[in-house]
Structures are given as structure tokens and as C-alpha cells.
Amino acid sequence: MFENVKMPEGVNPETLEHLMDPKNYGKLDDADGVGVALDEKTKEYVIFYTKLDGETITDVRFATNGCQDTVVIGSMYSEMIKTNDIEYANRAIQKMNEKLGKMSQQQQTCANLVFTAFMASIKNYENRLNGADEELHVFKMKESCEVTEEETENE
């Protein structure tokens, strides 16, 4: 799609593709697990919807009110784990961190929002299997997406 576009330095075509055309964005009405990662300081969140057949992730969707980094990471990660099992999805978090290379503290927090929302969706799925009447599971983040002046100067 972007083969004739000159990429700005530091931007690869895959990242641009996920930014311009995010994959798996939106609500999944028949999700088996719904998880939310919430940055209480900024109120930024990611909602992750997971459809499972046993341990296999058959479909995923995510939604966010976050920044473009969150959308790109959500799109990339959801594509990576779709049709794989939960164990693979957990290992994929490390693979994503390696793929994304050296990220700023803010980008790492955005990535953690996505990964934490996925983990919350699996926790919701497990809770439902154990008989809990839980619409969704929420994990509150310890780190914030808000960047301080000091953090900006250190990067």
C-alpha cells in the first residue's frame, strides 16, 4: 500500500500500515473475555475483546481512547496473536517489545496498556469459566502515559 511513499526516518512500512489502517479495531459483540487496562491519571484506556475456542484465540478486537502509538501497537499485537493460543500470546508480548526496539517511556506505557488489556481479557474469560458473573475485568496501571518534563529531557 505504501511502496511508493518515501518513509520518514525511523518509520517502517509495517508501522505506517497499522497507523493508517488499524487491524482488529472495534468491538467484538460475542467476546468470551473482555479486559480493560486503565491509566487512572490520564484516563487513557484500552479495551481488549477475546474470542476463544479452548486455548485458541479465534478472534480479537481492541478499542482505545489513546494515542497513535497505542493504536499501532494494538493493531500489530492483535494481528500477531489471532489464531494462536494463549501461551503464544503471552510470549508474543516479549516478541513485540523486541520488534518495537528502543521505545520512549511513553511508548512503552502505551504498549503495556495494550498487553495488560489482553491479560485482563484472559482473566475475565477464566473468571467466567469459574462461574463469575463478570462483564469485564479491569486492571489499573501503575505507570502513566503522561510524560513529565524530566522524562522528556532524559530521552
Share in percent of the chain as helix, strand, coil (round to 5): 45, 20, 35
Q: Quote the DSSP letter at residue 8.
A: P
pLDDT digits (tens, 9 = 90+) for 61-115: 999 999 888 999 999 999 999 999 999 999 999 888 887 777 788 888 889 999 9
Look up the pTM and report it: 0.85
Instruction: Determine the pLDDT at residue 11.
Output: 62
Instruction: Determine the pLDDT at residue 71.
Output: 94
* Domains present along the chain, CATH in parentheses: 13-143 (3.90.1010.10)
Question: In what order do the strands lie in the sheet containing 137-140?
Answer: 56-64, 45-53, 33-38, 137-140
